[in-house]
Amino acid sequence: MTVVLELKPETEKALQKKADAKGSALSSYVEELIQKDVDLGPTLDEILAPVRKQFDDSGMTEEELDDFLNGVREKAFRERQANGRS
């Protein structure tokens, strides 16, 4: 797809300077910026997949996990209080 942009001269100059610093052509640099803007990244399910797999592989029950996480949270809370932070 071809897109034609009308840029202010100072905007074009700033973009060209950044493209030059990266060793890129202006068009490639602008395409990269646009791609970063539209790239939504991984979904929450994709991010959590390794954690879920590790939990499944651990053999822990949900109750055991709750107890573990509550213990970790309590320990962190006590440490923050001991250090004068809330």
In this prediction, residue 86 carries a pLDDT of 63
pLDDT at 43 over 90: no
Domain ranges of the chain: 9-38, 44-82
C-alpha–C-alpha distance, residues 9 and 22, integer Å:
20
pLDDT in tens, 49-79: 999 999 999 999 999 999 999 999 999 999 9
Q: pTM for this structure?
A: 0.48
pLDDT in tens, 2-29: 989 999 999 999 999 999 999 999 999 9
Averaged pLDDT, 29-34: 94
In this prediction, residue 84 carries a pLDDT of 81
